[in-house]
Amino acid sequence: MPAVEPFTLRTDPGALEDLRARLRATRWPDAPDGLEDAGWALGTDLDYLRELVAYWADEFDWEAQEAALGKLPHYRARLGDGLGIHFVHAKAASASASGAGLPLVLGHGWPDSFWRYTKVIPLLTDPGAHGGDPADAFDVIVPDMPGYGYSDKPVGPPLNSIDVAGLWAELMTALGYPRFGAAGGDIGSHVSRYLALDHAERVIAVHRMDAGLPIYTGDPADLTPEERAWLDSGVKWGGAEGAYAAMHRTKPQTAAFGLTDSPAGLAAWIVEKLRSWSDCDGDIERSYTKDEILTNLTIYWLTGTIGSSMRMYSANGAIPVAQHARRVEVPSGFSLFPGDLLQPPRAWLDRIANVARATHPPRGGHFAPFEEPELYVEELRAFFRPFRHFRTAAV
């Protein structure tokens, strides 16, 4: 059984001095001739990034942010072949009439880490203190995926979502949870899917914020018109917005040199996605404060994980097509937020999963747990409520 040990976030002051020196020495690109007012049309806006980098260098208080993050209960465990995995494990504040909190493992994606769920952890563990029903309490487990955040980088080939699902099943065993719920978005949605596929006897129900990019190898004539349009939208999205993913999937190490060396370059690569994938109508600071953005970026910078995080795309790109065709029979829920990347039709959801609940919340995007924490928490509470009694069933 893997040993679970407390973990403390602690930054070497020299690392912060180096970061600030690099930020102040940024070599800035020019704006394209004749397109000085291009804004975000060709990528990250030059003026916005200058402002953000100046704040990062001279005003951002990482020590305060690290102290705030450190109030969460952090742990590490060695899983698989000894890979050190960092996770937050926050237990329900009090037992409800039906027993302890429902164990729930939350999966993040790229470009983030456990950061994605920091706002929702107290709402999920202590609903009674936040206007909810104490009976809806969860025991929340939020791991950093291998090569992300404070988890170790895989030695050898990068791990794919199937591999990580196996690690999460091992982690839940180590924590004493024979049965549990799973939820996630982005790559965390894929990991949650494979938990439900490969560990169905343990997963009570699975909640996802997306259906992934559409992959279908059958006869298109067998699809509904809405599903065919969904497939077409995926192709169009890939042509207009998918260049980052193609780089991650095919040549992640090339991009990793610049992004690991330049904090301004790292900011440009990530901030553009935070803005374009969020429900902020083009104004990124409608969804995140500068401090919130820079907390995410500083975790990436201090841990040096931008390269290892991107390499997971390469591993996932090699997953056999037959794996994508498997249908999830575990009860599944989908909350499709309006600002997210793609909006699958209900027919597609029913094709890929045993859908118990599918909703379209009024606000929020790809990072809904951070953008709209109250809405996201309500989605989880409502979806998992009918399945809570299954947690005590024998595996």
**Residues annotated as part of the active site:** 186, 313, 366
Gap between the Cα atoms of 208 and 189, Å rounded: 5
**Measured between alpha carbons, how far is 51 from 34 in angstroms, rounded to an integer?**
22
Give DSSP secondary structure letters for 146-160. TTSTTSPPPSSSPP-
∠ CA(265), CA(270), CA(273), 5° rounding? 135
277: Cβ contacts below 8 Å, ≥ 6 apart: 339, 340, 341, 365, 366, 367
Sign (positive or negative) of CA dihedral 238, 268, 121, 159: positive
Round to whole Å and give the CA distance between 84 and 87.
10
As given in the structure block, the two tokens for residue 345 are: 């039709």
CB of 138 closer than 8 Å to CB of 124:
yes
Q: Name every residue whose Cβ is closer than 8 Å to that of residue 376 and which is 6 or more positions away in sequence.
A: 120, 335, 361, 364, 368, 369
Q: Return the ∠ at Cα 44 (arms to 361 and 310), rounded to 5°.
A: 75
Looking from the CA of 12 toward its CB, the CA atoms found within 13 Å total 7
Distances (CA, A) of 321 to 124, 194, 217, 224, 317: 35, 14, 8, 21, 9
d(CA 2, CA 168): 12
* Burial class for 382, CB neighbours closer than 10 Å (0-12, 13-18, 19+): middle
Cα separation, 52 vs 151, in Å, equals 27
φ/ψ (deg, to 5) at 121: -55, -50
Tokens at 229, concatenated: 């349009």
